[in-house]
Amino acid sequence: MSNIYTEIILDHYQNPRNFGEIKNPTKKVEVANPLCGDKIKMMIVFDKEKVTEVKFTGVGCAISTASASMLTEYIKGKTKEQLKKIDKNFIIKMLGVSLGVNRIKCALLSLEALKKLL
């Protein structure tokens, strides 16, 4: 496996975007990967079909945190229909690194949260 800790991933890990809580979200979910102890809480506000606000909190490794940070950045302003199209390949492309079978689970935790929010 090549270096998965690229500048961009480290940046999102150390300075995660949209990190925090929303007071009155439309919906709130919590997902966990008990195997590594990762937990992500994600909150979202919809204006009809459109995402106006999204935030997340939790503990995780660099990959799961960067993935949540980058994903929340992307989904702001998108419609539910657009978000339904996001899949595993999208996340891999977004992160821009190739992950092994064990680490891909870390990257997909935020996707699991998003799916539950839709």
Partner 1 sequence: MFNLSQIKKDFPIFENNPSLVYLDSTATSLKPRPVIEKLVEYYSKYSANIFRGVYSLSEKATEEYEKTREKIAKFINAKSKEIIFTRNTTESLNLLAYSLGRKIIEKNDEIVTTILEHHSNFVPWQILSQESGAIFKVININQSGDLDLYCKNIKNQKSKCKMTMQNSKLINLDNIITKKTKILTLTYISNVLGTVNPIKEIVMVAKKINPKIIVIVDAAQAAPHQKIDVLDLGADFLAFSSHKMLGPTGVGVLWGKYDLLCEMFPFNFGGEMIAEVFLDKTFFKDPPYKFEAGTPAIAEVIALSEAVSYLEKIGLEKIETYEKELVQFAYQRLKEEFGKNIKILGEGNIKERSGILAFNFYNLHPHDVAQILSEKNICLRSGHHCAQPLHQFLGVSSSCRASFYLYNDKDDVEKLVEGLKEVRERFKI
Nearer to partner 1, 23 or 34 (CB): 34
Comparing CA positions, the residue from 61, 62, 63, 56 lying closest to residue 31 is 56
Opening angle at CA 6, ends 5 and 8, nearest 5: 120
**Which residue stretch of 32-40, 72-80, 90-98, 110-118 sits at the interface with partner 1 (rule: CB under 8 A)?**
32-40
Among 21, 52, 59, 79, binds partner 1 (CB under 8 A): 59
106 binds partner 1 (CB under 8 A): yes
10 binds partner 1 (CB under 8 A): yes
Among 60, 74, 95, 110, binds partner 1 (CB under 8 A): 60
8 binds partner 1 (CB under 8 A): no
The strand pair at 50-59 and 27-33 is best described as unpaired
Cα–Cα distance measured from residue 71 to residue 88, given in angstroms and rounded to the nearest whole number: 12
Cα–Cα distance measured from residue 60 to residue 77, given in angstroms and rounded to the nearest whole number: 26
Look-up: residue for tokens 């935030």? 55
Give residues in contact with partner 1 (CB under 8 A): 1, 3-5, 10, 14, 34-39, 59-63, 103, 106
